[in-house]
Amino acid sequence: MITGRRMTTNLLLTLLAAASTANARAGTSAAEPGIGVGPQYDTTHVYIKAADFDRFVGSFTATLGGKPSPRIPSVLTPTPSKAEFQYVWTPAGTLSTFAFSTPIPYPFGLERTGWLVTDLDRALKLARDNGAEVIVEKWPDPIGYDAIIQWPGGVKMQLYWHFNTPHYEPLEAIPETRVYLTRDLGDTFLHSILGFSQGRIVSDDRTADGAELGKPGETFRRVRLESSFGKMQVNVTDGHLPYPFGYEITGYEVKDLDAALAKATAHGVATLSPRFDGADRNSIIVEFPGGYIAELHQIRPRQVAITNRHDDN
């Protein structure tokens, strides 16, 4: 999360309190098992130029619904920097968006997501115990603490913890973190992330259709996971990927892919890949104004065979 200047601390606390109230469920929400709080609290990090901020946020919410928070000037890092920060809430997932007006300190900008945890010290120990590196040690912000970790294969993410956990409505569709890995470290990463997240493998297809990644006639290994942090698709490949595959870090589920694409196109979104119609989903890679690349997919209903029975009565 963020480290505010003294003058922005009260504003940030007010903003987050208002957001929590606006998104609060009636009554007390049930605690998630393990260290994950829930996928509605986990955000994709998007770094964007200030000149593209409004176009990007407007296009994203026009495509997926939802609304942005007010935009506030902030210090986002443990070392001096300046940026504009804005949450973007949608029914299909949440963004943390940043526009820096100073050079971005390393390794910020390389982390893919921010995951809210129930206890940051415990989460960092669990991450280390499962093979992750802590590449930015814990630092304080006005509402909690943050750290950045790196998993085997170079996958970077931010972990954060709040003094007071917000309470947001559950998402209508849980976004899917998309990870590309080599055959050398695919199993190592899976072992690490599952041990940390206490998640489970939903499917492990070692001969998935390569057309999903722009390589018809070939196969790759596709592993889908679920945990209290949400969904993840791990693509284990030979690294021979046509553009833009590998640049998308999140996949968003929509109810109607054609309708979502029509909205997206009307708001400046470019299509970067051929549409893929798979056995269980239809998908496509798009680029929003400002350069954010994402996957959109529609789940296809399972075909259930119906057998007519005839009684000889």
Query: 198 exposed, middle or buried (CB, 10 Å; 0-12, 13-18, 19+)?
Result: middle
pLDDT tens digits, residue range 226-260?
999 999 999 999 999 999 999 999 999 999 999 99
Question: Lowest-confidence range among 31-35, 171-175, 195-199, 267-271?
Answer: 31-35
pLDDT tens digits, residue range 75-132?
989 999 999 999 999 999 999 999 999 999 999 999 999 999 999 999 999 999 999 9
What percent of the chain has pLDDT above 70?
86
pLDDT tens digits, residue range 151-207?
999 999 999 999 987 888 999 999 999 999 999 999 999 999 999 999 999 999 999
Mean pLDDT in the chain? 89
* Three-class secondary structure of residue 300 per DSSP: coil
E-only strand ranges, the chain: 43-47, 67-68, 72-74, 83-90, 93-100, 113-116, 133-141, 144-151, 155-162, 176-182, 200-209, 219-227, 230-237, 250-253, 270-271, 276-277, 281-287, 293-299
